[in-house]
Chain A
Amino acid sequence: MTRTLNLRAGVLSLALLTAILLVWQVAVSGTAKTEAMNPEYAALMGATATTGKSAMPGPLDVAETIGKHLKDPFYDRGPNDKGIGIQLAYSVGRVALGYGLAVLVAIPVGFLIGMSPLMSRALDPYIQILKPVSPLAWMPLALYTIKDSSLSAIFVIFICSVWPMLINTVFGVASTRKEWLNVARTLEVGPIRRAFTVILPAAAPTILTGMRISIGIAWLVIVAAEMLVGGTGIGYFVWNEWNNLSITNVITSILVIGLVGMVLDQVLARAQRLVTFPE
């Protein structure tokens, strides 16, 4: 039953893809009417102006570009022209650093806040105010105080990933079942062992949910931050190709960004399944 359902879903997915690609190809393949030009002038003009070719690339153009990138993803022709693989590595590296720092801060701090109703109440207003701030709003402040653009990008990743994790950790820790805590108490379990053997496993699914939200945000933000700061990374790649008005490359990067984002999300989804316990 599930097999036939999967099969049908797969067929439908493929049909949709084909339809989208077809419509796309048809939509961009038409040529607009162009005025007659003298050859000397035409030689100086782009294809859009001379042949009326659509400024939007078709799926075949994009496929060709993807093929080109896949063939040589790690080339390095100077500081401003690197392969898409290297750019991705830069972005993933920045996300890993900023996100890793956020994990190191958010989870212990979340534990402390979650275990203390006093701290929880005292810090709540700050968290509530800082949480909804758009991560990129931190950018000028970061650039101004840190005085280093790649550190600033990492800081922005840090600051945007910290809140969902912090809030979820606080919530997960605070909502650990009283009876489980009582079990630990009647067994005379010390506070540290209790934190690791009862609260952490109990809160882990909630914490992982926060981590999953965070990685999504971090990946969204790194692209924007790199477009702003430039230098390296997939966001810079998009910006650089936009600078060249190369929509083909922009579409390629969109696909790549989506793919990597999905992989990151799936990794955490799997981790989440590992720590989730049925009751």
Chain B
Amino acid sequence: MSKLLPFVRRAGRTAPDTDQAGTRRMSTSEKFISIEGIARRYPAPGGKTTTIFENLWLPMRRGEFVCMIGHSGCGKTTVLNILAGLEAPSEGAVIVDGQAIAGTSLDRAVIFQGHALLPWRSVLGNVAYAVSSRWRKAPKAEIEARARKAIATVGLAGSEHKRPSELSGGMKQRVGIARALSIEPKILLMDEPFSALDALTRGTLQDEVRRICVETGQTVFMITHDVDEAIYLADRIVLMTNGPEAKVAEIVENPLPKDRDRTQLHHAPGYYALRNHLIDFLVSRSRTMRDAMPADYDPRHPPVVRPSLSEADAEAIAASTEPAPRRA
């Protein structure tokens, strides 16, 4: 299934090799997070049960940015909640760093869709609340210092004493991000964090998140509806078929180089191939695949794909002076 294709940045530099690692099966030691056969069922009227998803397997590497895309009702948020420990799976388990999770943990920070700031606390108060939860016995000054640092990281220095109600939507979400980062989690879980923001703000925030994650090597699991967001941020994109009984249809390797520029992204080779692939999936295959999964589909090892070059990509390659690297 997977195609090994050359891809070139418009700037003409060679993509680093590390980006091509994902096509093979992940070894046990690489699995930082391993979702192992989880299911979520709800009782339905008439004594029946509705299965949102079942037998879902998904591995993630340390420092990897994974996006999950799917239509509403495919159980994306449920997967995230199970990862966070806010919900328990009906079956299966999630292993993080070699240990099955039980409940929530300060190691797994969540950035909520609706920012979920405590409105009676100031910006500093919200972040400090998280910090003091992480370091219970830390002196006040240290807590404040850590909180201020996190706030500065998201570019809100100077707004520490504002109340959430005095902030714009984008600023609120920055506080949410600062709060999540302040506790130095091993994993960052984001549930459509930018969906409520206007396009401009969303773009800026995406830049911030990407910068921070690249700088800190943060492991991130993010849910989104936005294909471009996924392409820009993710190392790998998990595609879910429609629910109920949703499945991981495939895991798409992002062929774009780690060093990305949001404004120039659509000029990057491989971009259109990837985008078309994702859109095709969302438009039709998410439905057709659920109804008829390929015969060789193995839920334990969902297919890993790397989309082929589109014509536009080919042109970009042709225009390139350097030969495209190839792999066998």
Chain A interface (Cβ within 8 Å of chain B)?
A: 177, 179-180, 182-183, 185-189, 197-198, 201-202, 204, 275, 277-279
Query: Residue of A at shortest CB range from B84?
Result: A186
Determine which of A182, A187, A202, A277 lies in contact with B106 in the assembled complex, contact meaning CB atoms within 8 Å.
A187
B130 within 8 A of A: yes
Report A105 CB to chain B, min CB distance, Å.
25
Task: Give the total number of A-B pairs whose CB atoms are below 8 A apart.
Answer: 57
Q: Are B114 and A179 interface neighbours, CB within 8 A?
A: yes
Q: Are A187 and B116 interface neighbours, CB within 8 A?
A: no
B109 within 8 A of A: yes
Which size bracket describes the interface of B in this complex?
20 to 34
| Residues on A with beta carbons closer than 8 Å to the beta carbon of B84 | 186
Within 8 A of A (CB), among B100-119: 103-106, 108-110, 112, 114, 116, 118-119
| Residues on A with beta carbons closer than 8 Å to the beta carbon of B133 | 187-189
B42 within 8 A of A: no
Q: Are B109 and A201 interface neighbours, CB within 8 A?
A: no
Report A166 CB to chain B, min CB distance, Å.
23
Determine which of B108, B120, B163 lies in contact with A186 in the assembled complex, contact meaning CB atoms within 8 Å.
B108
Q: A186-B110, A187-B183 are in contact. Are A279 and B116 (CB under 8 A)?
A: no
Q: A197-B129, A279-B119 are in contact. Are A186 and B165 (CB under 8 A)?
A: no
Determine which of B85, B109, B112, B129 lies in contact with A179 in the assembled complex, contact meaning CB atoms within 8 Å.
B112
| Residues on A with beta carbons closer than 8 Å to the beta carbon of B212 | none
Determine which of B104, B112, B118, B163 lies in contact with A188 in the assembled complex, contact meaning CB atoms within 8 Å.
B104
Complex Cα spacing A202 to B85, Å: 23
Report B119 CB to chain A, min CB distance, Å.
4
Q: Are B116 and A278 interface neighbours, CB within 8 A?
A: no
Determine which of A179, A202, A279 lies in contact with B165 in the assembled complex, contact meaning CB atoms within 8 Å.
A279
Q: Are B86 and A185 interface neighbours, CB within 8 A?
A: yes
Query: Residue of A at shortest CB range from B86?
Result: A182
B75 within 8 A of A: no
Q: A278-B165, A279-B164, A279-B165 are in contact. Are A188 and B116 (CB under 8 A)?
A: no
| Residues on A with beta carbons closer than 8 Å to the beta carbon of B105 | 186, 188
Q: Are A186 and B104 interface neighbours, CB within 8 A?
A: yes
Report A154 CB to chain B, min CB distance, Å.
34
Determine which of A183, A185, A278 lies in contact with B118 in the assembled complex, contact meaning CB atoms within 8 Å.
A183
Determine which of B110, B112, B120, B134 lies in contact with A277 in the assembled complex, contact meaning CB atoms within 8 Å.
B120
| Residues on B with beta carbons closer than 8 Å to the beta carbon of A185 | 85-86, 103-104
Q: Are A179 and B164 interface neighbours, CB within 8 A?
A: no
Query: Residue of B at shortest CB range from A182?
Result: B86
Q: Are B129 and A277 interface neighbours, CB within 8 A?
A: no
| Residues on B with beta carbons closer than 8 Å to the beta carbon of A275 | 120
Report A77 CB to chain B, min CB distance, Å.
51
Determine which of B85, B116, B165, B183 lies in contact with A180 in the assembled complex, contact meaning CB atoms within 8 Å.
B116
Complex Cα spacing A180 to B126, Å: 11
Report B27 CB to chain A, min CB distance, Å.
30
Report A197 CB to chain B, min CB distance, Å.
7
Query: Residue of A at shortest CB range from B131?
Result: A187
| Residues on A with beta carbons closer than 8 Å to the beta carbon of B112 | 179, 182-183
Complex Cα spacing A233 to B9, Å: 87
6 contacts between A and B (CB under 8 A): A177-B116, A180-B116, A182-B110, A186-B84, A186-B86, A277-B165
Complex Cα spacing A34 to B165, Å: 71
Q: Are A186 and B109 interface neighbours, CB within 8 A?
A: yes
Query: Residue of B at shortest CB range from A205?
Result: B120
Report A279 CB to chain B, min CB distance, Å.
5
Q: Are B104 and A201 interface neighbours, CB within 8 A?
A: no
Report A66 CB to chain B, min CB distance, Å.
43
Q: A182-B110, A186-B104, A186-B109 are in contact. Are A201 and B118 (CB under 8 A)?
A: yes
Complex Cα spacing A198 to B133, Å: 13
Report A26 CB to chain B, min CB distance, Å.
53
Report B319 CB to chain A, min CB distance, Å.
48
Complex Cα spacing A123 to B183, Å: 40
Complex Cα spacing A187 to B109, Å: 8
| Residues on B with beta carbons closer than 8 Å to the beta carbon of A186 | 84-86, 104-106, 108-110
| Residues on A with beta carbons closer than 8 Å to the beta carbon of B114 | 179
Query: Residue of B at shortest CB range from A200?
Result: B120
| Residues on A with beta carbons closer than 8 Å to the beta carbon of B120 | 201-202, 204, 275, 277
Complex Cα spacing A188 to B129, Å: 11
Complex Cα spacing A156 to B291, Å: 67
Within 8 A of A (CB), among B121-150: 129-130, 133-134
